[in-house]
A and B are shown apart, each in its own frame.
Chain A
Amino acid sequence: MNMKALRKSGVSMIVLALTAGLTFGCSGGGNNGATPAGSAKTAGEATGTQSNAPKERVKLRVEVFDRGNAPDGISITNSQMTQYVQKNFGDPNNIDVEFVPVPRSEEINQLNVLMAAGTAPDVIFTYNTGAAYNWAKQGGLMDLTEVLDQNGPNLKRYLESSLKYGVFEGKQYSIVARRVNLQKYSSFIRQDWLDAVGLPIPTTTEETYETLKAFKEKNLGGKRTIPLGFALAPDSYEPIIWSFIKEQSDEDRYLKSVTIGSREYPILADGHKDGMRFLNKLYQEGLLDPDFALDKDKKKKDENFVNGYTGLYSADTGTTFGGEASVANTLEKNVSGAQIVPFLPWTDFEGKNRQPAYTPSGMHIMVPSFSERAVEAIKYLDWMAQDEVIRYMAFGEEGVHHELVEGYPVRNGSDEDTRLLFNTGDVLIITNGIDFGSIDKNVEFMALGVSDNHREMAKTSRIYADKDAVQQPIQFDKPLDSEAKHSVIMLEKYEELLVKSTMAKPADFDKVYDAALKDFLDTAGNEVIAERTAAYEAMKK
């Protein structure tokens, strides 16, 4: 490089720095168009005009998850799906719908920044209840009560029971989507192993324990036999812990458990310690995977299972079966003669199979307080809540994107299907799963996505997962500060409690458990329980 070139680039750098300096201080703006401030309020108050399209064309910005899985040549912000939305909702209402991608894995970080900068889309959503609480508490969310009443008749009818999950302090800060399938966990046992030890399918915790011992003695999976597949993940510990809980009145669940993320942890309930003691026994007798604490993403648990090392396997319902490459099919391919059967391994003090289930609520859909498009946002969701729209956004057109099988639409897996529906769940945000009217029908429909050989089993496992299932009682009507604040730390401390007491020497169990529990309570637990108690007292009045 000679001096001239250096000077030249130097000059352009100066120009650049100057322009940067000039622009700094001017408002970057321009995100929400040039509508005067406060129009949301006026629009909200203008009753009865909902059928008329606004005169001026406006822009509605809607969040969409970016999972990096768009098919070749399609972008998440401009796909057949977004075009469908524009054509059927946008154009008739004189609205430009713009989709704003938010990376799925960084959604909360990203949304926090966008909210702080005032550049968040008009429609945002998240599964993270803590974040929704935080925003509501700080005044960052719009109260949608009125707007919803005036512009969302369809939406209200469609959501109905899930809407109450979005009411904080009497105000509808969040439109909560529906969840159709509430089953959480399913367990399976190796039928060929049962045959080898000559035992029937166990039906109680005691029988299950004896069966695991028999598996261990015979080393049915070779040197690396793992009678009970286990990971440091809810699908491993929740079914067992909950089967030991003795008190399950709503009051107990309010006062003796904490909510971490969306899960309820019955940390102080009678029986929690017994559950841990049972895990300790299993661990000490070599019945569960000794490296479980390293396996947070459940990869190893699945790997051990498909390689035939595991006797009893539990997983999130619906993840075991599927197409050719499903967990069950891989196992059968890898291990000749392997056969699994769904069953209910754990029984509680009453002999019931009590197990946790999802609440019928999905993600929180919200409008930031600085948005000027609250009315349009609700209109958009209201439009979406029509049967034909839901059907199109979930399944596309018959013959093109799906075929009718036994009367149910089943996506055909063609290129057309993928191109339209690759992110259907991220656009069709008002529901999680499609409701066909009854549990039986929904189970029937879900099973259609499973390869023929496992279809019946898939149905059975879903029906089992519903047996004696209990949902979390409805949350408090007021965000609990401490619970939102400590959610990350509480989960860590809970995992520590679980790992330490499971791995403790039996003689030390009480000491280790009590110390870890105290640590949990001192760090955050006590604060949360105190706030829950106060909130419960207030709610009872």
Chain B
Amino acid sequence: MTKVNRNSYFYRNWPYYAMLVLPLAYFITFKYLPIYGVTVAFKEYNVFKGIGASEWVGLDVFKHIFSMESFYTALRNTFLLNGLDLIVGFPAPIVLALLLNEARFALFKRISQTMLYLPHFISWVIIGGMVYQVFATNYGVLNLLFAQVGLGPFPFLSDKNHWLVTYVSVGVWQSAGWGSIIYLAAMTGINRELYEAADVDGASRLRRIWHITLPGIRTTIIVLLILKIGDMADIGFDRPYIIGNVMVREYSDVLSTFIYRIGLQSGQFSNATAVGLFQAVVGLVFILSANYISKKTTDESIL
């Protein structure tokens, strides 16, 4: 075909593909070119020989990993902590956004919003120090308060079950405010007339939230939920690493801290890469299934 067909699909839609050129070039350059590094998981990696020249060892690295008990602990904890975050941490910003959306006094609202984002800007190193001051058994602020009403002391940091509560609440505290931004933005996209109509009908506040606001941010919620579920196998490093301690290691050691320990800290790059690869495969399976289920049940797909 040499003649340009003015009605051909590509003739009509070329601008879309033109737009995609640079983004795809970006992904190929910065994300795909270095990806050969995952082969390290199948090699006995010697940093001085380089990745290419290091010897292939097949699945030996994986065999080694799968024989480590601490690997399974880390895997279980990753799902445990992420699961708790999903149950408690995921709805928190939605609730907060709804509250803010319903709040009166524009100035109060704006000031509160700014304050609610503060924890997001404080580095984990600093949060770690403060967690200690707040939750310590003997002299933590929280336990001092409980002692005044004759309760406790609660071992928030030293008992593994209490520690889970601490872990989750610190997460909510740190990210709920920041997470609410995206929902608030979605709420501003909701048609004002719907609210006006509801007011005319004399609908109660709860009914308005239920019938207008929530449906208005439904897609945002679903997308973020899918992404969150897809991230079940992935876990941030700083929070478990910094809030965790020896006494609760049974729960606080997760894949990311495990990888850090054996990889960068001990220089066992092959082992670390193998765990990372395993985590990535599990993660991919998760997000694809979440997407599939969502497509089946709600007709919403993100991919």
Give yes or no for direct A-B contact (beta carbon below 8 Å): yes
CB of A186 within 8 Å of the partner chain: no
Minimum Cβ distance to chain A for residue B131 (Å)? 10
State A523–B48 Cα separation when bound (angstroms).
Answer: 28
> In the bound complex, how far is the Cα of B247 from the Cα of A289, in angstroms?
15
Name the interface residues of B6-50: CB closer than 8 Å to any CB of A.
21-22, 25-26, 29, 33, 46-50
The smallest beta-carbon distance between A290 and chain B, in angstroms, is: 6
- Nearest A residue to B50 via CB reads A116
Contacts of A523 in B (CB 8 A): 69-70
Set A17, A116, A293, A488: member contacting B25, Cβ < 8 A: A17
A14 at the A/B interface (Cβ < 8 Å)? yes
Chain A residues whose CB sits within 8 angstroms of the CB of B50 once the complex forms: 116
* B267 pairs with A131, CB closer than 8 A: yes
Q: Is A112 an interface residue (CB 8 A)?
A: yes
Give the nearest-CB partner of A137 in chain B.
B46
Docked-complex contact A294 and B22, CB < 8 angstroms = no
Complex contact A140–B247 (CB within 8 A): no
Given known A-B contacts A20-B29, A293-B246, A115 and B48 have beta carbons under 8 A apart: yes
Q: Does A488 lie within 8 Å of B29, measured CB to CB?
A: no
Q: Mark B255-282, 1 if CB is under 8 A from A, else 0.
A: 0000001101111100000000000000
A224 touches B139 (CB 8 A): yes
| B249 and A140 form a contact (CB under 8 A) | no
Sorting the interface of chain A by its residue count into under 10, 10 to 19, 20 to 34 or 35 or more gives 35 or more
The answer to whether A2 has its CB under 8 Å from any CB of chain B is no
Contacts of B70 in A (CB 8 A): 489, 523
Interface hits, A261-294 → B, CB 8 Å: 289-291, 293-294
Interface centre among A20, A296, A299, A489 (most CB of B within 10 A): A489
In the complex, what distance in Å separates the CA atom of A163 from the CA atom of B192? 78
B48 touches A139 (CB 8 A): yes
B158 at the interface (CB under 8 A from A): yes
A369 at the interface (CB under 8 A from B): yes
Contact with B along A3-47 (1 / 0, CB 8 A): 000000010011001001100100000000000000000000000
Q: Which of B33, B48, B264 contacts A109 (CB 8 A)?
A: B264
Say if the beta carbon of A138 comes within 8 Å of chain B: yes
Whose C-beta in chain B lies nearest to the C-beta of A134?
Answer: B267
With an 8 A cutoff between CB atoms, is A448 at the interface?
no
Q: Does B232 contact A (CB under 8 A)?
A: no
Among A296, A300, A369, the one with the most B-chain Cβ atoms within 10 Å of its Cβ is A300
* Residue in A13, A224, A291 with the greatest tally of chain B CB atoms within 10 Å: A291
A488 touches B265 (CB 8 A): yes
Contact A17 B22 (CB under 8 A): yes
| Interface bits A132-146 vs B (CB < 8 Å: 1, else 0) | 001100111000000
Instruction: Tell yes or no: B173 within 8 A of A by CB.
Output: no
Residues of A within 8 A of B245 (CB): 293-294, 296
Check B25 against A140 for contact (C-beta < 8 Å): no
B289 within 8 A of A: no
Query: Interface 1/0s, chain B 40-73, versus A by CB < 8 A?
Result: 0000001111100000000000000000011000
List the A side residues contacting B191 at CB < 8 Å.
none
Binding site secondary structure of chain B:
helix
The A contact surface, by secondary structure, is helix
Chain B residues near A115 (CB-CB < 8 A): 47-48
- Min Cβ gap A129→B in Å is 12
- Whether the Cβ atoms of A116 and B136 lie closer than 8 Å is no
* A residues in contact with B25, CB < 8 Å: 17, 21
* CB contact between B158 and one of A13, A14, A116, A293 (< 8 Å): that residue: A293
Q: Which residues of A contact B265 (CB under 8 A)?
A: 108, 488
Contact between chains at A224 and B246 (CB < 8 Å): no
Q: How far is the CA of A300 from the CA of B257 in the complex (A)?
A: 25
How many Å lie between the Cα of A303 and that of B26 in the bound state?
Answer: 51
Residues of A within 8 A of B158 (CB): 291, 293-294
Q: How far is the CB of A366 from chain B (nearest CB, A)?
A: 13
Within the complex, what minimum Cβ distance (angstroms) separates B43 from chain A? 13
* A428 nearest CB across to chain B (Å): 28
Separation of A140 and B132 alpha carbons in the complex (Å): 42
> A232 on the interface (CB 8 Å rule)?
yes
The CA of A495 and the CA of B137, in the complex, are separated in Å by 19
CA distance A290 to B265 in the complex (A): 30
Expressed in whole angstroms, the minimum distance between the Cβ of B278 and any Cβ of chain A is 19
> For B22, what are the chain A residues with a Cβ–Cβ distance below 8 Å?
10, 13-14, 17
Q: Are B29 and A294 in contact (CB under 8 A)?
A: no
Residues of chain B lying within 8 A (CB to CB) of residue A291: 136-139, 158
Q: Which residue from chain B places its CB closest to the CB of A486 in the assembled complex?
A: B266
Given contacts A17-B29, A20-B29, A294-B157, contact A496 B48 (CB under 8 A): no
Asked whether A489 lies within 8 Å of B136 as measured between CB atoms, the reply is no
Beta-carbon contact of B266 and A369 below 8 Å: no
* Residue pair A369, B246 in contact (C-beta under 8 Å): no
Contact B247 A499 (CB under 8 A): yes
Contacting A138 at CB < 8 Å: which of B33, B46, B136? B46
| B128-144 contact mask (Cβ, 8 Å, vs A): 1 or 0 | 01001000111100000
Interface status of A487 (Cβ within 8 A of chain B): yes
Are A369 and B48 in contact (CB-based, < 8 A)?
yes
Q: A24 to chain B: which residues have CB within 8 Å? A: 29, 33
- Contacts A13-B22, A499-B247 given; does A488 touch B137 at CB 8 Å: no
Q: How far is the CA of A20 from the CA of B246 in the complex (A)?
A: 47
User: Could you mark each residue 420-454 of chain A with 1 if its beta carbon is under 8 Å from any beta carbon of chain B, else 0?
Assistant: 00000000000000000000000000000000000
Alpha-carbon separation in the docked complex, A438 to B265 (Å):
38
Smallest Cβ-Cβ distance to A20: which chain B residue? B29
Partner of A496, one of B47, B136, B246, B264: B246
Given A138-B47, A224-B139; A293-B267 close (CB under 8 Å): no
Query: Which residues of chain A (369-421) have a CB below 8 Å from chain B?
Result: 369-370
Distance of A116 Cα from B263 Cα, bound (Å):
14
Which residues of A sit under 8 angstroms from B48, Cβ to Cβ?
Answer: 115-116, 135, 138-140, 369-370
Q: Confirm or deny: A206 has a beta carbon within 8 angstroms of a beta carbon on chain B.
A: no
CB distance from A230 to the nearest CB of B (A): 12
Contacts of A294 in B (CB 8 A): 132, 136, 157-158, 245, 247
Closest 7 CB pairs of A and B: A116-B47, A140-B48, A138-B46, A291-B138, A488-B265, A109-B264, A17-B25
Between A and B, 8 residue pairs with Cβ closer than 8 Å are A17-B22, A112-B47, A115-B47, A134-B267, A291-B139, A293-B158, A293-B247, A294-B245
Q: Given A108-B267, A489-B261, 13 more contacts at CB 8 Å? A: A13-B22, A14-B21, A14-B22, A17-B25, A109-B264, A112-B264, A140-B48, A291-B136, A291-B139, A294-B157, A370-B48, A492-B246, A495-B246
